[in-house]
């Protein structure tokens, strides 16, 4: 991560002595550590913790030790038990056996409020904000400042404004409704909520998943200040480069068990970490790119596509059997472009053609009938029926096949879904389970698998491996490459430049809504692409 040119002006710089209300700084968790915090002291210890759900042993004797003032990284594939462990620490679940020690004493948190009062704050990957409340109301939900029984809204707004400023997002108004914020803004509000408490341990579950590159750097600066004050951080991420940069020690989970504990984050070889997570000696690799991609006839042709304020004059093509990747920063218009091609947004200018035939603008139905499928970035809200079983989510786009005279052939429907689940190594395999019970990586497999059942000729993938662990990534990469080998065209967007370069045959670079480069992937490298996608931002920063 690149530090700003003038660190003294960053959001964590010391403010002038008279710049803030002393009452605020005296209690702000980003300013003053707990009085009895002792860096290096063990604040959390788990011994042989077990948690079982019907038919599933989610935690099977977990060991974990976290010290004050450290960033302790928790690694594991989706389904390894990380989410269950977080919920045990947050008071959502109670362990069946084993012991949790908090600050040297046995502890059992009856509910999330008890965990929070003890000093454990959790920032979940799937944000638990109340969208119809304001930013300030969410930040102080459940512990609003009061006087004589009345909420001190001015005090709450000023404290929220201070915390947001410290997070580098002072531009977010405390009175704005949360539903009006973008995904990255909601992540910041969730962080503000955690930091509004006197936390001694902050658990961060994939906090960078919705953050832009510069926001991740800001997040890391905040984490370093917290740990310098003796506050402990449990950091969960699938991005090994983040673990190297911010972590101190690493604990690895696999199938609900601790397979490695207290490994040095910066010095443990990647091969060792991956082997501990997966049981296989794989690394962050991609399927071999065929010497001859075998790309066939043109499937997709986009000419002069524009949406006011999002992207302009975009032209591109995808051929049968070809994987085309789009690289660009958050806010460059990349997701909006995919959604417009798919018909989820209506273009203001330009055309989209499939196999030479123009598609009706703003019509998802027309796109699907033409053989187009899409796995969106926000799979939970945009692609899945969380309360429905896995098989119904897999067959969603082809449901008509299993219906006749008002009746559904559920047996055939489940059999087809089970076949897809097997080909994708879905875990657990039971397609009758509600899809909400799956890990993020397995939910993504369900979304991709939906289109394997259909007559899909072109697949649009928006952040296909967001929140997906190393092992599941490798499996998804293989699925995508096999689809291309069968003649399916793939157009994908990813925040991770190595993913675009490693998976795509051809790369398009999008900056501020315009295509600035197109080239075969093997003619580009990561530095070149980063220079292209960030050039505008860097120039603006220099001008400012």
> Residue written as tokens 């945009």?
382
Strand extents, DSSP E, 177-329? 201-205, 232-236, 249-254, 257-264, 298-307, 311-319, 323-327
Neighbours of 478 (CB within 10 A): 14
Low-confidence ranges of the chain (pLDDT < 70): 1-39, 78, 126, 210, 212-214, 278-285, 291-294, 469-471, 534-544
The dihedral over CA atoms of 230, 231, 236, 242, expressed in degrees to the nearest 10, equals -50
What's the confidence (pLDDT) of residue 187?
79
What's the confidence (pLDDT) of residue 449?
83
Please report the domains of the chain, with CATH numbers, ordered by start residue.
Answer: 298-371+455-543 (3.40.50.300)
Cα 191 to Cα 196: distance, rounded to the nearest angstrom: 9
The strand order across the sheet containing 489-494 reads 372-375, 458-462, 489-494, 323-327, 506-511, 514-520
- Neighbouring residues of 282: CB distance < 8 A, sequence distance ≥ 6: 274, 275, 470, 471, 474
- Neighbouring residues of 133: CB distance < 8 A, sequence distance ≥ 6: 141, 177, 178
What's the confidence (pLDDT) of residue 23?
32
The strand order across the sheet containing 42-53 reads 56-67, 42-53, 97-102, 105-106
Q: Are 364 and 110 in contact (CB under 8 A)?
A: no
What's the confidence (pLDDT) of residue 111?
92
Burial of 416 (0-12, 13-18, 19+ CB in 10 A): buried
Neighbours of 411 (CB within 10 A): 9
Residues pairing with 236 in the sheet: 74, 205
Residues pairing with 491 in the sheet: 324, 460
Q: Are 360 and 343 in contact (CB under 8 A)?
A: yes
> Residue written as tokens 């947001």?
164
Does pTM surpass 0.75? Answer: no
């Amino acid at each position: 991560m690149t530090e700003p040119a003038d660190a003294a002006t960053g959001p964590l710089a010391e403010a002038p002595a008279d710049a803030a209300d002393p009452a605020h700084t005296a209690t702000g968790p980003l300013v003053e550590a707990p009085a009895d915090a002792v860096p290096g002291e063990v604040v959390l210890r788990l011994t042989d913790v077990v948690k079982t759900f019907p038919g599933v042993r989610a935690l099977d004797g977990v060991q974990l030790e976290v010290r004050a003032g450290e960033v302790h990284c928790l690694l594991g594939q989706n389904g390894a038990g990380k989410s269950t462990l977080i919920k045990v620490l947050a008071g959502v679940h109670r362990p069946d056996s084993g012991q949790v020690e908090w600050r040297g004493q046995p502890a059992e948190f009856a509910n999330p409020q008890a965990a929070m009062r003890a000093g454990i704050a959790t920032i979940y990957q799937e944000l638990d904000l109340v969208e119809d409340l304001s930013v300030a109301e969410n930040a102080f939900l459940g512990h609003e400042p009061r006087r004589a029984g009345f909420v001190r809204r001015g005090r709450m707004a000023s404290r929220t404004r201070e915390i947001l400023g410290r997070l580098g997002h002072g531009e977010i108004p405390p009175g704005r409704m949360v539903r009006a914020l973008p995904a990255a803004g909601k992540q910041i509000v969730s962080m503000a909520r955690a930091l509004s408490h006197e936390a001694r341990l902050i658990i961060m579950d994939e906090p960078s998943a919705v953050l832009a590159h510069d926001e991740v750097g800001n997040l890391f600066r905040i984490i370093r200040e917290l740990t310098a004050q003796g506050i402990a951080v449990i950091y969960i991420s699938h991005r090994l480069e983040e673990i190297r940069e911010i972590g101190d020690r690493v604990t690895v989970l696999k199938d609900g068990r601790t397979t490695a504990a207290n490994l040095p984050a910066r010095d443990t070889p990647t091969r060792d970490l991956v082997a501990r997570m997966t049981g296989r000696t794989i690394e962050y690799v991609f399927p071999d790119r065929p010497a001859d991609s075998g790309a066939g006839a043109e499937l997709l042709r986009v000419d002069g596509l524009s949406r006011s304020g999002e992207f302009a004059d975009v032209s591109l093509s995808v051929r049968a059997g070809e994987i085309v990747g789009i690289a660009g920063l958050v806010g460059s218009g990349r997701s909006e472009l995919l959604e417009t091609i798919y018909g989820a947004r209506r273009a203001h200018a330009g055309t989209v053609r499939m196999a030479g035939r123009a598609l009706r603008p703003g019509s998802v139905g027309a796109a699907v009938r033409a053989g187009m499928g899409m796995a969106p970035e926000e799979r939970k809200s945009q692609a899945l029926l969380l309360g429905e079983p896995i098989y119904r989510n897999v067959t969603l786009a082809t449901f008509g096949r299993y219906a006749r005279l008002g009746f559904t052939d559920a047996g055939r429907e489940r059999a087809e879904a089970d076949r897809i689940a097997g080909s994708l190594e879905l875990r657990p395999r039971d397609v009758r389970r509600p899809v909400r019970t799956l890990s993020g990586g397995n939910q993504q497999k369900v979304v991709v698998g939906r289109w394997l059942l259909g007559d899909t000729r072109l697949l649009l993938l928006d952040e296909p491996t967001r929140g997906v662990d190393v092992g599941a990534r490798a499996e998804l990469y293989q699925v995508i490459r096999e689809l291309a080998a069968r003649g399916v065209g793939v157009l994908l967007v990813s925040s991770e430049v190595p993913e675009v370069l490693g998976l795509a045959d051809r790369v398009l670079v999008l900056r501020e809504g315009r295509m600035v480069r197109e080239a075969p992937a093997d003619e580009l490298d990561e530095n070149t692409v980063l220079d292209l996608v960030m050039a505008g931002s860097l120039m603006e920063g220099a001008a400012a």
